[in-house]
Chain A
Amino acid sequence: GQNIDQPTEMTATEGAIVQINCTYQTSGFNGLFWYQQHAGEAPTFLSYNVLDGLEEKGRFSSFLSRSKGYSYLLLKELQMKDSASYLCAVREVGNNRKLIWGLGTSLAVNP
């Protein structure tokens, strides 16, 4: 079956580094996505990984290991505005228009 697991909640301190993990079990794999969603707002695209390795984009990096069915989102130099929910989503082979979404990780950044 299809399954995406993320921690429900995480807490971190301003200025620190936090890693949000995502594991997936899907019928084939054709890309993994991370979205950020602030409370009461729509999700916004952060990153897309289809090959193994680390993709860096400013303070945010995303890592993928296809053999382990595992990804993480790394947030550096945390700011209060990073408090949000982070959604992991996977595209399966053979269904290029649909994503399978995780339930999201709610990150609270404290001063």
Chain B
Amino acid sequence: DVKVTQSSRYLVKRTGEKVFLECVQDMDHENMFWYRQDPGLGLRLIYFSYDVKMKEKGDIPEGYSVSREKKERFSLILESASTNQTSMYLCASGWIETQYFGPGTRLLVL
């Protein structure tokens, strides 16, 4: 079975803090994705990576950066967290036909 894990299920941070969200997959997938999901707005793509050190901006990259140093790991970085970044963050990996999602990280920025 494909396994996608995320570093935390719940996270509480303060405005201005630097936040790291990590995602690890065990299926040697080239593509990995970071989404955020908010009520009424659905799933929105922040960034995706199609290979080690390769990345492309999604629909809402502002305020975020990413890092992919190893194929199995894709990190999302909030350089200076703000309250409007309170959300559910979902990592996915896989082929475009089938994306496997991690359990999600519910981030609260105070």
Contact = CB atoms under 8 A, between A and B. Distances in A.
Interface of A: 31, 33, 41-45, 48, 87, 89, 91, 96-99, 101-104
Interface residues on B, range: 20 to 34
Contact of B58 (A31, A44, A89, A98): A98
Nearest to B35: A101
A18 to B, nearest CB: 21
Contacts of B28: none
A96 B96 contact: yes
A97 B50 contact: yes
Contacts of B42: 87, 101-104
Main secondary structure of the interface of B (DSSP, over half): strand
Contacts of A103: 40-42
A31 B97 CA distance: 8
Contacts of B48: 97-98
Contact of B103 (A31, A41, A102): A41
23 contacts: A31-B97, A41-B103, A41-B104, A42-B101, A42-B103, A42-B104, A43-B99, A45-B98, A48-B97, A48-B98, A87-B42, A87-B43, A91-B96, A96-B96, A97-B31, A97-B50, A98-B48, A98-B58, A99-B96, A101-B42, A101-B44, A103-B42, A104-B42
A91 B45 CA distance: 13
B101 A43 contact: yes
B102 A42 contact: yes
Contacts of B103: 41-42
A7 to B, nearest CB: 14
A47 to B, nearest CB: 10
Contacts of A43: 43, 90, 99, 101
Nearest to B58: A98
Nearest to B49: A97
Contacts of B56: 97
Contacts of A97: 31, 48, 50, 56, 96
B29 to A, nearest CB: 12
